Amino acid sequence: MARILIVDDSPTQTMSLTKILKKNGHEVITAKNGSEGVVVAEAELPDLVLMDVVMPGVNGFQATRQITKNPSTSHIPVVICTTKDQETDRIWGQRQGAKGYVTKPVEEAILMETIKPFLPKT
């Protein structure tokens, strides 16, 4: 079981992702926006972060960069989970330090397959 931080400003998306992750035996922590996500990541040190991109204030790309460049959180893999499905978005996400990228609406099998390599081995 991993502790996964979901950073998303949509309560519906957060609920949907939480349901999938809990069904697969994971513990879930949430943050409502990018700046809160950075603070929660530093305080909680989750095993993985699922990061939305389109959020008010600090967007997901900026928050990903802050998490992956901070020495205290740089070990935490970030997987971007967004409606932005262009190849340029994927490349930009990787440049910010994201380890994976899934597009919404997320299928359970694709989400679990994407995050599996980054979760702690049990």
pTM over 0.95: yes
Structural domain spans, the chain: 3-118
Q: Using DSSP, how many helices (H) and how many strands (E) does the chain show?
A: 5, 5
pLDDT digits (tens, 9 = 90+) for 65-104: 999 999 999 999 999 999 999 999 999 999 999 999 999 9
pLDDT digits (tens, 9 = 90+) for 21-33: 999 999 999 999 9
Which CATH class for the 3-118 domain? alpha beta
> How are the residues of the chain apportioned to helix, strand and coil, as percentages rounded to the nearest 5?
45, 20, 35
